[in-house]
Every structure is written in structure tokens, then in C-alpha cells.
Amino acid sequence: CPPLGLETLKITDFQLHASTAKRYGLGAHRGRLNIQAGVNENDFYDGAWCAGRNDPYQWIEVDARRLTKFTGVITQGRNSLWSSNWVTSYRVLVSNDSHAWTAVRNESGDVIFEGNSEKEIPVLNMLPVPLVARYIRINPRSWFEEGSICMRLEILGCPLPDPNNYYHRRNEMTTTDNLDFKHHNYKEMRQLMKTVNKMCPNITRIYNIGKSNQGLKLYAVEISDNPGEHEVGEPEFRYIAGAHGNEVLGRELILLLMQFMCQEYLAGNPRIVHLIEDTRIHLLPSVNPDGYDKAYKAGSELGGWSLGRWTQDGIDINNNFPDLNSLLWESEDEKKSKRKVPNHHIPIPDWYLSENATVAVETRAIIAWMEKIPFVLGGNLQGGELVVAYPYDMVRSMWKTQDYTPTPDDHVFRWLAYSYASTHRLMTDARRRACHTEDFQKEDGTVNGASWHTVAGSINDFSYLHTNCFELSIYVGCDKYPHESELPEEWENNRESLIVFMEQVHRGIKGIVKDVHGKGIPNAVISVEGVNHDIRTGADGDYWRLLNPGEYVVGVKAEGYTAATKTCEVGYDMGATQCDFTISKTNLARIKEIMKKFGKQPISLSIRRLRQRARQWRQQ
């Protein structure tokens, strides 16, 4: 049987009760598998249910609200940086009225189940025989001798059909999409990609961006009306998932999305057809397949909070990119600094490129991919929370761990984050319970990364400062690795958001920068007055600049060409405003071109003056 949903919050706080609690922050409502404590472990958000007394009469109880076939119990100790508390053995009791209780028994009497031997690794105990009841109670019998009675748990159970149970019918969630709702290991993921490609060969292409530490290829699927080539004027979008291998929901959502887009394209859904014809979409479901493999082997409930998070060589890919923020801010703070750093396309420092740098092969593969393709917008899907985080992810002050640190494009990022959060079924729901310790409702399900927790070298900050691409982190669910039975509902929660966010790549201005002969000029700098962040044109001279509705003075400059500006207006309707430039070569560039053509080099003025002086001196 699947989990009842303590971890996914399907079981509400009102369905959890306990004999006693040490304090409110350690109440029964905190006794959920994998729940995380706040850094301060304060009164409201602690990391387990802890009994008010240490004796064998304590209990924690779950009301399933309908008859349920209970089959197993999973337990953990208290999540805490400062203390060690877990239950080493317990009894299980069931009831239909919460007054008369029956213990789980075998031939020799009440069964005493073996609990935990440390606080984080989940331990599963299956009941000798399934028991049907409405309530289930866990009664700790022994605990870590230097700690106290504290536990987090999940209950495995199959709700029985009950046509009279209005509560359950009202809360049931189903999907009409005919997709493959299951967890896919590496081989199955590859097979699914092939199936999608076979169904939609004209709009899909499978390719890989490199290999993992263990040699697994990092496969991506491209969805476009001309797969395999960049079309001038068409923006490029990416979704990636699985940088943390144990955050599995994002991986499955991307696999569901590629199936959905193929099916809807074949069915002639005008919205999806339009999106595919006007956008080049790249979907990379598993950045860290080695980590995923570890989590997959443990299973959806037994990997704990971190098994498989890191790469095979112990690196957190999400924060493994070059820290370009510090280079930019140092340059801005030291006005007389000899080393001027541009406000965009900041080069990667030499130390990071050396073989001795602690950089995962997966990270290097992503960077090469980001540099090769002119992405405009991207989302990296993560798990364990329900919020959209936008850059900067790193605080500017050395003395703070949390501080709102906006980019020059803060208003655009906030809109992009809100476009996902507001169309998600739960992110902006004011009635929803916080996943762990943070309540993101005041920001409508969005958060500035640095105001949440500072991180140096994040993929979002790197993407913004090294490429043209605006990237956000999308945390798609409280449960990092939900049970297979939860996937249809999670798809319904995220489907509209995934599509709406892709559509935002068509917001702002776009155009082509050409010379007087109509040839595209690559690497031209596009600037927007009042925004201290520029972008550059691609190899064909085309560009896209994400902007909110309004009127903007846009400038362009390129080496050897005269600069130009024009006013471009961004409307509220979807679709980027066309803002093309034709610029001519400077006089000096023309002279150089002519002299080069005839095999002569232009002499710089300073050298010419020196020669004239030498001639005059000789004549004297």
C-alpha cells in the first residue's frame, strides 16, 4: 500500500494527535517523515513530535478519516543540529473509534517493532498481517538513552472504498491525461525518450550534453518544428531537473511534459502547436543520474532527506558554478579598480577552468551546453519545498546569511516567478500548510534566493552573469521523492505552470542587428536605459531581451560600428515586440577595411607623430 501522506501533507495537522508534547513546535503536527527543523529550532518549526514525558505510556496517532487497510510504518528520529533523539522500539495499535484499541499481535503477544538506531535514516516495519481500521497509534517502548521520545513517521495504508465518505470524494484528484505515471530508472527514461521521439519524429530530437562521473550520458530532448537547428528570431528555452539526484519529482514532471507536448501537438492543440512552432525547447530530465540511481535503489520513502543528493564524487551541482557575483561587486565597489568587469557575459576565472578545481564533470557539461545554445529563459526543477526562487542567490554583504539581493532585472524576475507560482494549484493557496519552516505566502509563493539562504556559485546567478539566459529555481513539491501513486496529482498541480512559464520566453523585445548589407552582426551589445545589465546578439545577429510591459530606450553597440538607439514599447499581450537595428561601420573601421584590402596597414596617429618628430630632428 502507498503512504497515507504525512510527508506530502495530504494528512492534515488536524488528523494528527499525541498523548503529550514537549512544546507546540514539537507537537504531533511536526511528526511527519523527513520534516526539517529551522536553523534556530524555535518554538514553531522543530523537527519531530517529541513527547512531554519519557515513559512507555506516550503515543502519536493518525486519523485516516475512513476505513483503511494499514500495512506498515516508517519511522525516523528528530531532525536537529543540536540534539540526538529517536525511538528504538514501539508498539502499533489500531481502532475504529479512538477509544477501544487493539495492539498488533503474534503468537507470543504484542509485537514490539524495532525502531531507529540514529535520527535520519528511515526504518520500515511491515505489519505481520494488514489491519483494517480508521485510527492507528504508535506507542514508543524504548528510546535512545541519552535522548528522549521523538519521532517522525509515515503510515502505509490503502483507503477502502467508501461511497458515503464525502470528505474523501471532495479531496480526490484525478487526471484525464493518458501519460506514463511511474518512476523511471535510467534505462526506462531513455526508452521513454525514444518512444516520444518515435511518436513525434518531426518535432523531437534526442541528444546528450556529456557524461556523468560514472559514464552515464546526460540525455536531453529537443522539441521544435525544426529540431537540430537554431532558427533566426526563434527563442530557446530550457527545463532541467535532477541536479540533486534525490529530488525526483522534477525529473518525472519533465518526462510527463515531453509526452504531453507530443500528444497535444498530434491532437492539434493550438496552444501547444503555436508554442512548438515559435520556440525551441530543450528538456534535460536528469543532470545527476548517478545520484538518482542511489535514491531509486532505496525507494521513494526510505532514502531519507539526502541520499543521492550529491554527485558520485560528493559535489552539489546546484552550487558548483563559478562565483561571478563577487567579481562584479568588487569591480563596482572599487571605482578605481584596474580590473573592470562588464555587467554581463562575465568570463569564467582561470582557476575554475584548471583541472585541479573542484568541479563536477556534470557541471562542466552544463556550462558547455549553456555557452553553445543561446538560451533566453530557463527553469531548474527542484524539490523539498513549494516556491519559485529567483536571483540573486548570493547576498552582497559578507556579514549576512539572508538579505534581499535584487538583480538589475528584479521586476522581470519577480514576474517570471509569479507566472509559475500563480498558475500552480497550491503555491499561492493561503490555506496551505508550510512544507517545513518557511511560509512563502507573503511573497505569493516566490522568494528572492539570497533572502531565503545565501549560496555562492548557483546556476541561476551564473546563468544571468555569464550568458543571456534568465534562470529560476522552481521547487515543485514538499516531498522530494513522492510515491508513484502521487504522480498524477503532482502533474495536475504543475502542468499549467510548466506551460505558462515556457510561454514567458515570448515577453519583452526581440530583433536582429544587421549591417547596411543586411548581414547579421554577432556579439553586438544590447542595452536598456536604466537597467545595468546588457545582453549580446547570437551568431546570426538575433537577440531576445526579457522585459515587462512599458516603454524602453534600447541601445546597440558593436566593435567597429556606430552605436544606435531607439525606443521600443512592450505591450501586455503575449508576443515579443520586434526591435531591429541596422548599423553602419565607423569611419576608422572603413579605412582599416580598405587599406587591408590593398595590403596596407593604417598607421596609428601616435606612431605618425613620432616619425615626423624624428624627421625634423634629423633635419636640424
Longest Cα separation, the chain: 123
Cα(293)–Cα(291) distance, integer angstroms: 5
- Compute how many other C-beta atoms are within 10 angstroms of the C-beta atom of residue 411: 14
Does 603 have pLDDT greater than 60?
Answer: no
Cα(565)–Cα(568) distance, integer angstroms: 10
Q: What is the pLDDT of residues 552-586, one digit of tens each?
A: 999 999 999 999 999 999 999 989 999 999 999 88
Does 168 have pLDDT greater than 90?
Answer: no
Does 167 have pLDDT greater than 60?
Answer: no
Please give the average per-residue pLDDT across 442-453, as a whole number: 93
Query: The C-alpha cell of 256 is what?
Result: 510527463
Cα(569)–Cα(564) distance, integer angstroms: 17
Does 457 have pLDDT greater than 90?
Answer: yes
- Compute how many other C-beta atoms are within 10 angstroms of the C-beta atom of residue 97: 9
Please give the average per-residue pLDDT across 199-204, as a whole number: 97
Does 311 have pLDDT greater than 90?
Answer: yes
Cα(297)–Cα(580) distance, integer angstroms: 53
Q: Which amino acid is at 276?
A: I
pLDDT at 350: 93
Residue 100 makes CB contacts below 8 A (sequence gap 6+) with none
Q: What is the pLDDT of residues 476-516, one digit of tens each?
A: 999 999 999 999 999 999 999 999 999 999 999 999 999 99
- Compute how many other C-beta atoms are within 10 angstroms of the C-beta atom of residue 519: 10
- Compute how many other C-beta atoms are within 10 angstroms of the C-beta atom of residue 609: 10
Cα(323)–Cα(458) distance, integer angstroms: 8
pLDDT at 373: 97
Does 164 have pLDDT greater than 70?
Answer: no
**pTM higher than 0.75 for the full model?**
yes
Q: What sign for the dihedral angle of Cα 443, 444, 448, 451?
A: positive
- Compute how many other C-beta atoms are within 10 angstroms of the C-beta atom of residue 452: 18
Mean pLDDT of the chain, nearest integer? 93
Please give the average per-residue pLDDT across 424-429, as a whole number: 93
Q: Which amino acid is at 523?
A: N
From 62-66, 86-90, 150-154, 332-336, the region with the lowest mean pLDDT = 332-336
pLDDT at 40: 73
Element containing residue 43 per DSSP (H, E):
none
% the chain with pLDDT above 90? 83
Say whether 300 sits in a helix, a strand or coil: coil
Cα(316)–Cα(179) distance, integer angstroms: 31
- Compute how many other C-beta atoms are within 10 angstroms of the C-beta atom of residue 52: 15
Left, alpha or beta for 156 (phi > 0: left; psi -120 to 50: alpha)? beta
Query: The C-alpha cell of 179 is what?
Result: 501519460
DSSP per-residue codes, 105-155: EETTEE--EE--SSSSS-EEEEEEEEEEEEEEEEEEEEE-TTS--EEEEEE
Residue 191 makes CB contacts below 8 A (sequence gap 6+) with none
Please give the average per-residue pLDDT across 335-351, as a whole number: 83
- Compute how many other C-beta atoms are within 10 angstroms of the C-beta atom of residue 117: 11
Please give the average per-residue pLDDT across 289-308, as a whole number: 94
Does 430 have pLDDT greater than 90?
Answer: no
Cα(565)–Cα(430) distance, integer angstroms: 45
Please give the average per-residue pLDDT across 35-54, as a whole number: 86
pLDDT at 590: 72
Does 612 have pLDDT greater than 90?
Answer: no
pLDDT at 337: 60
pLDDT at 451: 95
Element containing residue 207 per DSSP (H, E):
strand 204-211
Does 374 have pLDDT greater than 90?
Answer: yes
pLDDT at 393: 97
Domains by residue range for the chain, with CATH: 13-160 (2.60.120.260), 186-505 (3.40.630.10), 509-585 (2.60.40.1120), 588-617 (no CATH)
Does 119 have pLDDT greater than 80?
Answer: yes
Query: The C-alpha cell of 247 is what?
Result: 529530488
Q: What is the pLDDT of residues 50-102, one digit of tens each?
A: 999 999 999 999 999 999 999 999 999 999 988 999 999 999 999 999 999 99
Q: Rg for the chain (alpha carbons), in Å?
A: 29
pLDDT at 525: 97
